[in-house]
Structure 1
């Protein structure tokens, strides 16, 4: 039941699975690189469901590492907007063209990057509570249609000026909950196939290696480096979606 893949494709998928682990424990937004790799190897719809299962595996390791560091107040305030965004994404997946969806998300990410950096320069104490409806809705929508909610929510948590571990802990709980909520929709839409699930089982060890490496990396990053890397990865994710 495994898809027939070349040796180069297997190497790419193993590396992408490891990046999923790193993204969950050290570098939020890096999972967009994994999304690109899976989309290059597998059919577009199947790649979405296959990556989702690996993201859920990565969420388990992220919770193990940072479960005590979440800002639950921020998560609770985001919940209504995120739920609305996920439901919008489900409806959009039924009728939208994949290419148009990716371009819309890419433009949105670039706009959010510009907005977030502008707000941080304008007022060093500014926090994005007033924008949580925008960020939450877009985060729910983008994660449902393309597993691309990481960059959107990274911009929200970055604007909130969370310390590294609070950032990672809040993101861990956010995506652990949202990805589990997304799973039934993905199954009903046929995005996760039996062959994709079997492929995920083969790739789980790579996610584990990446998660452990990411945990060690996060311990060595200072706040400024962490924030700069988050911005760069978000830009990379946006450009990928546009192309």
Structure 2
């Protein structure tokens, strides 16, 4: 949505839809969630969300998206290099979760771009496919619920008009979830990891050239 609408406006426009999608994913994949990752990552995301609320009114969206896209692309290249080395180590220092989590919070609040940073965190932790999906579903359900009051009362990007727009798209969300669940069952872990890296990089490029 950040590619189709202005970044700040898109976040409020789609937050209710994201909550619907996240809730469905939680129902289906909740048993796979690893709460250790959520507890370690979420506080930093909240810090980033608060910074995003403060910065969002004055930040140049074009410059912001270029910087974030560059950071994401560099991170993807590092992850690819890490995989090529066949390294089995994972980052354990709190600073890694702090940096990536804060960036995820800022970007999800301002431009709905938090997904690539959370993807990079879970990939760095070498989380398996179903655990990845279950943990991310819970994480983003909580994140989007936290963002909701800021969009309603501070930025005023959620109103009756946007909610009516959301209702029209709910059937598409449900259909997409059904298709996604079936595809996930046949995708192997290694391919899923590569697919996430490619889609993350592609998303960064699209953000940069928009």
- Scaled by the length of structure 1, the TM-score of the pair is 0.80
Q: Is the 8 A contact 1:59 1:172 kept in 2?
A: yes
- What is the RMSD of the two structures over their aligned residues, measured on CA atoms? 1.5
Which residue, out of 26, 34, 57, partners 1:63? Answer: 26
Question: Equivalences for 1:207-226 in 2 at 5 Å?
Answer: 207-226=173-192
44 and 87 in structure 1: CA distance in 2 versus 1, 3 angstrom threshold:
closer
How far apart are the structure 2 equivalents of 1:231 and 1:111?
12
Could you list the per-position Cα deviations for residues 131-164 of structure 1 after superposition, in whole angstroms to 9, with x for gaps in the alignment? 1111111111111111111111111101111110
Q: CA deviation at 1:97?
A: 1.4
Contact 2:10 2:111 in 1 (8 A): no
Alignment gaps of 5+ in structure 2: none
Deviation, structure 1 residue 123:
5.5
Closer/same/farther in 2, CA of residues 45 and 141 from structure 1, 3 Å limit: closer
Q: What is the CA–CA distance in structure 1 between the aligned matches of 2:10 and 2:38, rounded to whole Å?
A: 28
Aligned residues between the structures:
206
CA contact (8 A) 1:35 1:51 kept: no
Residue 134 (1) aligns with residue 102 (2): no
Distance 2:124 2:36 in 1: 16
The residue number in structure 2 matching 1:118 is 81
* C-alpha distance 77-44 of structure 1, shift in aligned 2 (>3 A): closer
Deviation at 1:46, TM superposition (A): 3.2
1:240 counterpart = 2:206? yes
1:97 aligns with 2:64: no
Please point out which of 160, 171, 174 is paired with 1:205: 171
Equivalent position of 2:129 in the other structure: 164
Q: Evaluate the alpha carbon distance shift between residue 134 and residue 123 of structure 1 in structure 2; reply closer, same or farther with a 3 A threshold.
A: farther
Once residues 221 and 117 of structure 1 are traced to their aligned partners in structure 2, the CA distance between those partners, rounded to angstroms, is 19
Conserved 8 A contact 1:120-1:159:
no
Q: Deviations over 1:161-182 (max 9, x none)?
A: 1110000011001100001101
CA distance in 1, matches of 2:53, 2:2: 18
TM-score normalized by the length of structure 2: 0.92
Give the whole-Å Cα distance in 2 for the aligned partners of 1:178 and 1:165. 20
